[in-house]
Amino acid sequence: MAHLSTVGWLTLRPRTVPWVPAANLEPLATIRAELARDLSWEVVQHLGGPVLLLAPLGVLLPLSAGRLNVSPLVSFTRTVFAGAMIALAIELLQSGVPGRVPDVDSVLLNTLGVALVHLAVVPGARSRLRRRYEHLGAMTPKIPRVELAPQADVLSVSRTYL
C-alpha cells in the first residue's frame, strides 16, 4: 500500500509546464523514438524510469497472496495482469491531471518491470521457502476420520460445534 501511495503521488500530481505534448496511443512509438537517439543518461532515465516504477509489485503482489504451492505460470500470469491493470489505471487517471499526458508505452514498460522482477525473484524465493518448511509437512498431525467421515456426521443438524 505504501508503494502504491508513493507511485500515485509521483504520477498523479499536477505539473506546471509551458506546453504539453500530445498523448501517445501508438504502441512502441516512444520507445522507438528514444532508442533512435544516441544512448545517453537521459534515454536510460526515460526508458528505465517506467520499468522501475512498478517493478516492486512483481514481488509484492505474490507476497500478499502468501501462497507457497502455486503454479509458477499462474502466479506469473496473475502478477503481470494485475501490474498491467494498475499501470493502465494510472495512465487513465493521468489523462485528467494538468501537465500529465497518457502514454501507452508507459503501460508496456511498467508491465515489463513487473514481469522481470517477478521472474527474477519469486520462483527462487518460493523454492527456498518450500525447502525450508517441507520438514514441517511431515510433522503435521493427520486426522484419519476427516476424510472418511460418514455423510450423516458431516451434515447432522443435531450437533453444534462452537
The answer to whether the CB of 87 falls within 8 A of the CB of 8 is no
pTM of the model as a whole: 0.78
Q: What are phi and psi of 50, to 5 degrees?
A: -65, -30
Highest mean pLDDT among 5-19, 107-121, 144-158: 107-121
Q: Does a structural domain hold residue 6?
A: no
Q: What mean pLDDT is predicted for residues 96-106?
A: 91
% of the chain surpassing 90 pLDDT? 52
pLDDT of 84 > 90? The answer is yes
State the residue for C-alpha cell 451434515.
155
Q: Does a structural domain hold residue 129?
A: yes
Q: Which residue has the higher pLDDT, 1 or 140?
A: 1
Q: Does a structural domain hold residue 125?
A: yes
The answer to whether the CB of 111 falls within 8 A of the CB of 80 is yes
Q: What is the mean pLDDT of the chain?
A: 84
Strand (E) positions, 21-86?
none
Q: Which residue has the higher pLDDT, 95 or 156?
A: 95
Give the structural domain span for 72. 51-136
State the residue for C-alpha cell 512502441.
28
Q: Does a structural domain hold residue 73?
A: yes
Model pLDDT, residue 65: 82
Model pLDDT, residue 141: 47
Q: What mean pLDDT is predicted for residues 118-122?
A: 96
Q: Which residue has the higher pLDDT, 134 or 105?
A: 105
Distance from C-alpha of 93 to C-alpha of 79, rounded to nearest angstrom: 21
Q: Does a structural domain hold residue 102?
A: yes
Distance from C-alpha of 156 to C-alpha of 26, rounded to nearest angstrom: 62
Distance from C-alpha of 153 to C-alpha of 123, rounded to nearest angstrom: 42
Domain count, the chain: 1
